[in-house]
Amino acid sequence: MARGNIKNLGDWDGDGKPGGAKSPQPGDGTMADDNKAEAKKVLLEQAKALGMEVDGRWSVERLAEEVMAAQEGQKDAKKADFEAKANTWVVLQRAAFPTEDERHEIGETIKVTEEMADRWYAAGVALPGKAPKAD
């Protein structure tokens, strides 16, 4: 049976064999350190794109929490902006996402921006609609 490529897991106790009685420690060049360094690099790029100020003392976990909070805040702001600009009622001819996490089903009447309504009419996604009657 072919074993394929097996990566050296690290010789932590110096006996010449992968693994060992001694656990890997931070800074040993282990995979965990490499993964955290890569994660921090990606998170710092995301934080920069979000316009965040980052404290260099933050752990990877703290940085991830802060980036997620900023992304949620940005998503909420985009949704509020969309809702403020929505001025055209449409009837959906197929399921659609007017915002990235808001799905509406066939037959629903929803309010979208005029620009989106025009694109959806052209693509056959929606037809002009009227405001639903209040119950």
Number of domains the chain is built from:
2
Higher-scoring residue by pLDDT: 100, 121: 121
Asked if residue 39 is part of any domain, the answer here is yes
Please give the order of strands across the beta sheet that includes 109-112.
109-112, 88-92, 126-128
The model's pLDDT over 16-63, given as tens digits with 9 standing for 90+, comes to 666 666 555 555 556 567 788 899 999 999 999 999 999 989 999 999
pLDDT for residue 1 is more than 50:
no
Strands 88-92 and 126-128: what pairing? antiparallel
Burial track 75-92 (b if 16+ CB lie within 10 A, e otherwise): eeeeeeebeeebebbbeb
Asked if residue 94 is part of any domain, the answer here is yes
pLDDT for residue 8 is more than 90:
no
pLDDT for residue 5 is more than 60:
no
d(CA 101, CA 135): 27
d(CA 4, CA 88): 60
Asked if residue 115 is part of any domain, the answer here is yes
Same domain, 72 and 51: yes
Alpha helices for the chain (secondary structure H): 31-49, 60-85, 114-123
The model's pLDDT over 58-92, given as tens digits with 9 standing for 90+, comes to 999 999 999 999 999 999 999 999 999 999 999 99
Q: Considering Cα of 105, then 107, then 110, then 114, what sign does the dihedral take?
A: positive
Same domain, 76 and 101: no
Domain of residue 111 covers 86-130
The reply to whether the predicted model has a pTM over 0.85 is no
